[in-house]
Structure 1
Amino acid sequence: MDEDTGGARRAPLRTADVARESGYSLQQVRDLERLGVIPPAARSGNGYRAYTPVHVHALRAYRGLAGAVGPVAARHTLAELRGGPLAAAAAAVNAAHVLLAREREEALRAREALRAVEAEAGAREFEHGGDAMTITQLAQALGVRPSTLRFWEQEGLLAPERVTSLRARRYGLAAIRAARVVAALRGAGYGIPAVRGVVDALSGLEGRGEARRILDRRLDQIALRTVALLRAGADLAAVVTAAGEPSRDA
């Protein structure tokens, strides 16, 4: 049972033990088990749940993951960690880091675009060296679909600076900068009316100041989410390692 076979083996943990060590309440532990965040606990002879240290690691990892990528994505990621090979588990964790890095990069680009708006910087294209981008190029640069840009256009958030005779949209420098700001605001969770208000006021000091504050908050939030993911690192590693070990239950 809890005696070891060649080394110390820890006694099963009760629900109260897991709650204390993970920082969750008794009911939260049961709920998260029901949701699949942690694998079902074994049952002892008297019917009580019998947990292991891996359950504690999984709950701590979930807390960090949920703070970094949201609870739904965190549940899916933990399921991948337990159910797949080591390489797939590592890739799932990597994907969370990549997501945060991309969000931070886009927020920084948006802040650079806002500075350029404030400085009324001249005519050099930021990445392509040309004077305009097509809707496909701009969508790829922002990591959105072309249909998203069309939707923003319909909502008055963005306008191409030129439409050719074949109705192909062309976005100049000012429109590209505005699109970066819109993308960052939408990524920060702001609704269409709020984004429209900022975009409409972008030519004034008040609008630029509000956009700057939103982008700074966005970067702060991404930093906090990154720290949460880093803190979860050791627990994630323990879950991944345990998933690759043969079960010792018999």
Structure 2
Amino acid sequence: MRPSDLASEHGLSTQAVRNYERDGFLPPAARTAGGYRIFTETHALALRAFLALVPAHGHAAAGEIMLAVHDGRLDDALRIVDDGHDQLARDRETLNAARMPVAPPEDLTLTVGELARRLRVTPATVRKWEEAGILRPVRDRATGYRRFDASDVRDAELAHLLRRGHYPLGRIARIVRQVRDAGVVDLEDWQDRLTARGLAMLDAAGRLSDYLRQREERGDLKRGPGRARPRSPGR
């Protein structure tokens, strides 16, 4: 196959296909004597897998998954997929909590660092949300340190969800106030997005499985030891 053959199936430019191969999202292509790339059905399956992974897990994670597969780090690739499903489950829980908030248990309190680790963001991000009026922690009378209770955790989870959707902090603060004051907020748009992402993950899993199965049949699937990948900093 030529680059144009792969590109036409997805409405891409031939340069985009070349870029994906250059970046390692597709396996290396053989070359003709004249230096032209030769693509095969393996490359077609890889491209379908990568493009399906993008709406499911995001462009960066999709690229990491394909790079891990091609580097022989299958466990790392599957771990990234697992992280995506875990985040989707957390987002669903956040939406449920926003719609039907429950009374927080009196004994649940977290420090700035503990809340940041729970959300996988930096403590500076948590403080920025406080400055924007999204979070309203109390201060420990003895130490003066911030203490976040269950309602703060719910608000922080909701803020994290909305920040990933590129909502500005001011709008997030207004939504969080609705949750606090009215006990419920209309987030059907986010429900639709989560449903679409869940369906995209199902499609991506099938495409990736097809590609891995074909590589395994050809003897190209390496199962080397996985290596821990650094987590991307939160917003």
Q: What TM-score do the two structures reach when normalised by structure 2?
A: 0.75
User: Which residue of structure 1 lines up, in the alignment, with residue 110 of structure 2?
Assistant: 134
- Are residues 165 and 85 of structure 1, via their aligned partners in 2, closer, same or farther at CA, if it must alter by over 3 Å? closer
**Structure 1 regions of 5+ residues with no counterpart?**
1-12, 117-123
Of stretches 181-190 and 58-67 in structure 1, the one that deviates more from structure 2 is: 181-190
Question: Which has the larger Rg?
Answer: 1
Give the C-alpha shift of residue 19 in structure 1.
2.1
Give how far 1:173 is off. Answer: 5.4
Where in structure 2 are the equivalents of 1:107-186 lying within 5 Å?
Answer: 107-113=95-101, 124-125=103-104, 129-135=105-111, 138-139=115-116, 142-172=119-149, 174-186=151-163
The separation in 1 between residues aligned to 2:18 and 2:152, in whole angstroms, is: 51
For this pair of structures, how many residues does the alignment match? 218
8 Å CA contact 2:68–2:76 kept in 1: the answer is yes
Shift of residue 180, structure 1, vs aligned partner: 4.0
Amino acid in structure 2 at the alignment position of 1:149: V
> 1:111, 1:181 within 8 Å by CA — same for their partners in 2?
no
Q: Give 3-state SS (helix, strand or coil) of 1:232's partner.
A: helix
* Aligned equivalent of 2:165: 188
Number of the residue aligned with 2:219: 246
> Where does 1:58-97 land on structure 2 (aligned, <5 Å)?
58-97=46-85
Sequence identity of aligned pairs in percent?
A: 33
- Residue 67 of structure 1: how far off its partner (Å): 0.8
CA contact (8 A) 1:139 1:149 kept: yes
Whether the 8 Å contact between 1:139 and 1:146 is mirrored in structure 2 is yes
In the TM superposition, residue 53 of structure 1 has moved relative to its aligned partner by 0.9
Residues 41, 49 of structure 1: 8 Å contact kept: yes
Q: Which TM-score applies when normalising by structure 1?
A: 0.71
Q: What's the CA shift for 1:166?
A: 0.7
What one-letter code is carried by the residue in structure 1 that aligns with 2:87? L
- Contact 2:49-2:204 at 8 Å conserved across structures: yes
* 8 A Cα contact 1:33 1:40, kept in partner: yes
- Gap change, CA 1:18 and 1:54, over 3 Å in 2: same
- Offset of 1:51 from its aligned partner? 0.7
Contact 2:68 2:74 in 1 (8 A): no
Aligned to 2:205: 233
Offset, 1:56: 1.0
For the 8 Å contact 2:57–2:81, the answer to whether it is kept is no
Residue number in structure 2 paired with 1:24: 12
Distance 2:126 2:77 in 1: 34
**Match of 1:134, SS?**
coil
* Residue identity opposite 1:133 in structure 2: T
**Relative contact order higher in (CA < 8 Å, ≥ 6 apart):** 2
Superposition CA RMSD, Å: 3.0
Quote the Cα distance in structure 1 between the aligned partners of 2:207 and 2:7. Answer: 16
Q: Which amino acid aligns with 2:51?
A: R
**1:48 Cα deviation from its structure 2 partner:** 2.9
Sort the Cα spacing of 1:22 and 1:41 in 2 relative to 1 into closer, same or farther, 3 A.
Answer: farther
Q: 2 CA distance for matches of 1:90 and 1:175? A: 32
Stretches of structure 2 that go unaligned for 5 or more consecutive residues are: 221-235
Structure 1 residue 139, shift from structure 2 partner: 4.5
In the alignment, the residues of structure 1 paired with residue 62 and residue 151 of structure 2 have an alpha-carbon distance, to the nearest angstrom, of 38
Letter in 2 for 1:246: G
Q: Deviations over 1:50-89 (max 9, x none)?
A: 1111111111111111112221221111110121244444
Offset at 1:203?
Answer: 6.1
Instruction: Return closer, same or farther for 1:149/1:95 CA change in 2, 3 Å cut-off.
Output: closer
